[in-house]
Amino acid sequence: MSSEPTETSVYIHFPWCTRKCPYCDFATEPIRSSALPHQEYADAVLRELEARRSDLKGRKLKSVFFGGGTPSLWGPHALGRTLRGIIGAFDDLDEALEVTVECNPSSLHQENAALLREAGVNRLSLGLQSLRDLHLRFLGRLHDSERALASLGDACKEMPRVSADLMFGMPGQTLEELAEDISRIAEIGVRHVSAYALTIEEKTQFGSLHRAGKLEVAPEDQYADLFEHVEDRFSDLGWTHYEVSNYAAEGEESRHNLHYWRGGAYLGLGAAAVGCLDQGQGRAERWRNDPNPQRYLRQSTLESEVEMLGPKEIVREALMLGLRTIDGMNVASTERRAGCDPKTGREREIERAIDQGKLLQVGDWLRVPQKHWLKLDGIVRDLF
């Protein structure tokens, strides 16, 4: 390992929600709030951290992200104890350490927002999805528009930085509704939005309904209209579309996610968590923890899948993630991590994409112009 500490982020997965949303294929299980094992889960995550401690030598903590599931169901004291353990496990900390907790409006109130702030959290990401009752009911969410607005207000009062998730492509959703939701969110004080198209995942309730012909989804050209409309509204606000699904006011980009898209090292903790740590140039280990929360709590097995990445996989990941961002993929830093020039072996494909205007080389960066982001998957596939 180099003498410079390697910047490393930490992701903690909280594997429970009070109800499973019909479109969601994340690793979560429904649970009654009263049955949540708050302290036991903190104990299990801290045990895992201890077991991985030797991997953290010489690393600098860049950011911490509590995702899920619904981490706002986790008692702030148990979450705070976990956070202190994580911070204590690193020799060095980023001066602007970003600590984010994903929250659902139904379980985020001013009181727990304030407790999370006291525990060291400085950013909340709210799973809002929409400010319309009709769409929230369709998505099977626990909150209505009134609760959504109240939780946004509470979050903005207590936290320096707040992000909101928005979804588009629900049946009957209009461009005007989407524009109004965006304006209201920004007026309340939110400075970052993740906007995702509703997609039908096979192993979900929506997947079964779709297969049975009982659920209509928006046609592809309507998604394209909505995507462009969202982009225009944020551009009117002066925000940057800095990643395919993410928009931010100046300086409000998610540092945790940028680190990930730039191929940075990250430690994953908790049931179903994924981690990937570099092991010298051209080598990295990626793992996925046992997704079953009960087994994870007992910790009879720590990992369920481990994969070694070599130079080829590191370059492919860098292309897949880096080209999602406005800056693109940095050629020199990818070469340092992979131990080989990422352009070698794909010179013709790169040249063709540049000729077609789908790829730009700007200094040391390769990037896809925003107007081609809707076709990004195909562009990246051609470079593999």
Question: Could you tell me how many residues make up the chain?
Answer: 384
Instruction: Say whether residue 17 binds ligand SF4 (CB under 6 A).
Output: yes
Q: Binding segment for ligand SF4 among 3-11, 13-21, 91-99, 228-236 (CB under 6 A)?
A: 13-21
Q: Give the up-direction half-sphere exposure of residue 94: CA atoms within 13 A in the CB hemisphere.
A: 16
Report, in Å, the least distance between residue 91 CB and ligand SF4. Answer: 33
- β-strand pairing of 59-68 with 92-103: parallel
How would you write 225-294 as a 3-class SS string?
HHHHHHHHHHHHCCCEEEECCEEECCCCCCHHHHHHHCCCEEEEECCCCEEEEECCCCCEEEEEECCCHH
Q: Is 337 exposed, middle or buried (0-12, 13-18, 19+ CB in 10 A)?
A: buried
Which CB, 143 or 358, lies closer to ligand SF4? 143
Report, in Å, the least distance between residue 25 CB and ligand SF4. Answer: 8
Distance between CA 326 and CA 68 in Å, rounded?
26
Q: Which of residues 310-349 bind ligand SF4 (CB under 6 A)?
A: none
Instruction: Say whether residue 263 binds ligand SF4 (CB under 6 A).
Output: no
Tokens of 319: 């292309």
In the stretch 177-196, what mask flags binding to ligand SF4 with x, by CB under 6 A?
--------------------
Are 17 and 73 a contacting pair, CB within 8 Å? yes
- Residues in binding contact with ligand SF4, number by CB under 6 A: 11
φ, ψ at 159 (rounded to 5°): -115, 145
Which CB, 198 or 314, lies closer to ligand SF4? 198
Instruction: Say whether residue 100 binds ligand SF4 (CB under 6 A).
Output: no
Binder of ligand SF4 out of 6, 7, 20, 229 (CB under 6 A): 20
Instruction: Say whether residue 200 binds ligand SF4 (CB under 6 A).
Output: no
Sign (positive or negative) of CA dihedral 166, 79, 33, 50: positive
Instruction: Say whether residue 71 binds ligand SF4 (CB under 6 A).
Output: no
Instruction: Say whether residue 106 binds ligand SF4 (CB under 6 A).
Output: no
Q: Binding segment for ligand SF4 among 5-13, 17-25, 191-199, 282-290 (CB under 6 A)?
A: 17-25
DSSP state of 325: B
Report, in Å, the least distance between residue 307 CB and ligand SF4. Answer: 24
Binder of ligand SF4 out of 8, 9, 63, 70 (CB under 6 A): 70
Q: Which of residues 25-44 bind ligand SF4 (CB under 6 A)?
A: 26, 28
> Of 342, 280, 283, which is closest to residue 308 (Cα–Cα)?
283
Binder of ligand SF4 out of 63, 72, 104, 107 (CB under 6 A): 104
- Tell me the C-alpha to C-alpha distance, in Å, between residue 265 and each of 43, 320, 377: 24, 16, 23
CB-CB neighbours of 263 under 10 Å? 24
Q: Binding segment for ligand SF4 among 64-72, 77-85, 295-303, 336-344 (CB under 6 A)?
A: 64-72
What residue ranges bind ligand SF4 (CB under 6 A)? 17, 20-21, 24, 26, 28, 68-70, 104, 127
